[in-house]
Amino acid sequence: MELPFSESYKIKMIEQLKRSTREQREEWIKEAQYNLFKLSSDKVFIDLLTDSGTGAMSDRQWAAIMTGDESYAGARSFFELKSTVQKIMGFEYMLPTHQGRAAENVLFSVLIKEGDIVPGNSHFDTTKGHIEFRKAKAVDCTIDEAFDTTLDHPFKGNIDIEKLEKVYKEYPREKIPCCVVTVTCNSSGGQPVSIANLREVSQLSKKYGVPVLFDSARFSENAYFLKMREPEFKNWTIKEIVREMYKYADMATMSSKKDGLVNIGGFIGLHSEEIYRQACTFNIMFEGYITYGGMSGRDMAALAVGLDESTEFEYLETRIKQIEYLGNKLIEYGVPIQYPIGGHAIFVDANKILPNVPKEQFRAQTLGVELYIEGGIRGVEIGAILADRDPVTRENRFPKLELLRLAIPRRVYTNNHMDYIAAALKNVFDRRHQIKSGLEITWEAPIMRHFTVEMKKA
Ligand SMILES: *Cc1c(COP(=O)(O)O)cnc(C)c1O
């Protein structure tokens, strides 16, 4: 008999989960104004809100915690992190920040000014937020295939080179501070970007003199997909593939809460000394001195180990296979999800499940609320609430996709949990025809409203 796949680690510490009843959950979600972010975590059984900062650290990382050097300036832990980033991504300059959006805030303070245009594949929400906050515009140049959830395309994170060149031709160079390539592309479903595409983006951007920035939160998951899907890299190690990817990046922002395998942290990677110097000033203003930037020494030490672990094949294989396991269960149950299955999450197609709910009543959010009530599972909406209003017209933006994202924390849940999630979602799917109305917004913030929005049943 062929041996089945099994996880590449065992469990050293456990955390008790709290179960609840459907009646309790109906009450709790109403109290939370139908915003899953407003639920306290003890009211959640399986938490798939995000894979950001929710992972489990390894014994090696916990050991590194004890070695952290808390010196204000020039801490040893900083140099460990700096040399790891240099080894893995190749950047000479590194600035720690407290998380990914802080890296964006610091770097964009140097790069972006009012009226600028920032092309890329689908920008992550905080990235877009930081661009729009500076009264600049993010232009989505993702390939059209990414928006068809049924289409099997190996690299749905790819940038459409023609769309990108159109932007480069339409606007003068000084209006385009950088091109942001998000690897893997979160907003189009954790979909990878191919090296072939990175090469083309790099080449075209060089021609127009535009630097390329990798939004790197899930860079090692991207490398795993390259190994599996791009024949050139079949026999390469993940670390070799990562180095190849970063040949095409001039700079990077990183949320270490994802592929850094830590609970908090981020950094900026740079080749340019000039940009580094300017970024140092903003880092000191917003984050902390340049050798800690909002991170404690022990967190930098754990991150250095985390970056090393996340670029090992064994770790990535276990992680991605768990996402596939859940995805394949859902496919078996007929639940429409985005193909191919992405790196960190399953994206459930709410437009297909709840076509009877008017899109103005937020289909994906409605589905998320139903799944919570069904099984105490917390996902997150990637749809019209997240898409927010147009900054100029203030009209609601309705994206092509209404997705419920089930993000799987790293090294946290077992495949029994995956079975439970799939069964709960199947139950909601089976009663989908009874769900005819959704939600209405009663209060929202002027920017990034999804975190704090308040709603009622429509
Ligand atoms: C998470 C994430 C960010 C922001 O990072 P935080 O650590 O949450 O501030 C930026 N870009 C991408 C692609 C991300 O996944």
CA distance 305 to 12: 18
- Tell me, what's the pLDDT at 401? 87
Residue written as tokens 């799944």? 371
- Tell me, what's the pLDDT at 339? 83
CA distance 320 to 341: 9
For the record, the structure tokens of 417 come out as 């949990």
Domain CATH for 202? 3.40.640.10
Query: What's the whole-number mean pLDDT along residues 86-106?
Result: 98
The CA–CA distances, whole Å, from 188 to 183, 218, 250, 345, 363 equal: 11, 13, 23, 11, 17
Query: Among this protein's residues, is 108 annotated catalytic?
Result: no
Pick the catalytic residue: 18, 42, 72, 135?
72
- Tell me, what's the pLDDT at 400? 86
Provide the percentage of residues in the chain whose pLDDT is more than 70: 100
- Tell me, what's the pLDDT at 150? 82
Do 156 and 268 sit in the same domain of this protein? yes
Do 305 and 319 sit in the same domain of this protein? no
- The yes-or-no verdict on residue 3 having pLDDT over 90 is yes
* Per-residue confidence band for 186, with pLDDT thresholds at 50, 70 and 90: confident
Q: Is 338 in the pocket of ligand 1 (CB under 6 A)?
A: no
For the record, the structure tokens of 280 come out as 């140092």
Do 69 and 186 sit in the same domain of this protein? yes
Query: Among this protein's residues, is 215 annotated catalytic?
Result: yes
pLDDT digits (tens, 9 = 90+) for 267-297: 999 999 999 999 999 999 999 999 999 999 9
- Tell me, what's the pLDDT at 218? 96
The CA–CA distances, whole Å, from 441 to 31, 34, 372, 388 equal: 14, 10, 19, 12
Query: Among this protein's residues, is 72 annotated catalytic?
Result: yes
DSSP string, 73-110: SS-HHHHHHHHHHHHHH--SEEEEESSHHHHHHHHHHH
CA distance 9 to 172: 52
pLDDT digits (tens, 9 = 90+) for 242-261: 999 999 999 999 999 999 99
Residue 7, domain member (yes or no): no
Do 126 and 266 sit in the same domain of this protein? yes
- The yes-or-no verdict on residue 187 having pLDDT over 80 is no
Among 310, 336, 368, residue at a domain's last position: 310
Residue 452, domain member (yes or no): yes
Do 28 and 86 sit in the same domain of this protein? no
The b-or-e profile of 64-74 (16+ CB within 10 A means b, else e) is: bbeebbeeeee
Do 325 and 438 sit in the same domain of this protein? yes
**Are the C-beta atoms of residues 287 and 279 closer than 8 Å to each other?**
no
Query: What's the whole-number mean pLDDT along residues 92-121?
Result: 98
Do 88 and 201 sit in the same domain of this protein? yes
Cα of 103 vs centre of ligand 1, distance in Å, is 9
Residue 378, domain member (yes or no): yes
- Tell me, what's the pLDDT at 276? 98
Among 289, 310, 331, residue at a domain's last position: 310
pLDDT digits (tens, 9 = 90+) for 52-78: 999 999 999 999 999 999 999 999 999
Cα of 186 vs centre of ligand 1, distance in Å, is 9
- The yes-or-no verdict on residue 125 having pLDDT over 90 is no
Do 190 and 304 sit in the same domain of this protein? yes
Q: Is 258 in the pocket of ligand 1 (CB under 6 A)?
A: yes
Residue 3, domain member (yes or no): no
* Angle at which helices 297-310 and 76-89 cross, to 10°: 20
CA-nearest residue, atom 1 of ligand 1: 255
Q: Domain residues for 267?
A: 59-310
- The yes-or-no verdict on residue 131 having pLDDT over 80 is yes
- The yes-or-no verdict on residue 439 having pLDDT over 90 is yes
Taking the CA atoms of 182, 188, 190 and 194 in sequence, report the sign of the dihedral they define. Answer: negative
Question: Helix (H, G, I), strand (E, B), or coil: what is residue 355?
Answer: coil
| Most trustworthy range by pLDDT among 36-40, 342-346, 394-398 | 36-40
Q: How many domains does the chain have?
A: 2
Among 264, 285, 310, residue at a domain's last position: 310
Adjacent-strand bridge partners of 389: 396
Determine how β-strand 212-215 pairs with β-strand 251-255.
Answer: parallel
CA distance 176 to 171: 7
- The yes-or-no verdict on residue 8 having pLDDT over 80 is yes
Cα-Cα-Cα-Cα dihedral of 131, 244, 202, 137, to 10°?
-10
Query: Among this protein's residues, is 349 annotated catalytic?
Result: no
Residue 256, domain member (yes or no): yes
- Tell me, what's the pLDDT at 322? 97
Residue written as tokens 């984050």? 287
CB atoms within 10 A of CB 377: 24
Do 126 and 80 sit in the same domain of this protein? yes
Question: Helix (H, G, I), strand (E, B), or coil: what is residue 255?
Answer: strand
- Tell me, what's the pLDDT at 148? 82
Do 206 and 292 sit in the same domain of this protein? yes
Pick the catalytic residue: 93, 124, 347, 413?
124
Q: What is the mean pLDDT of the chain?
A: 96
Domain CATH for 433? 3.90.1150.10
Phi, psi of 389 (to 5 degrees): -95, 155
* Per-residue confidence band for 198, with pLDDT thresholds at 50, 70 and 90: very high
CA distance 171 to 116: 9
Residue written as tokens 């390939």? 143
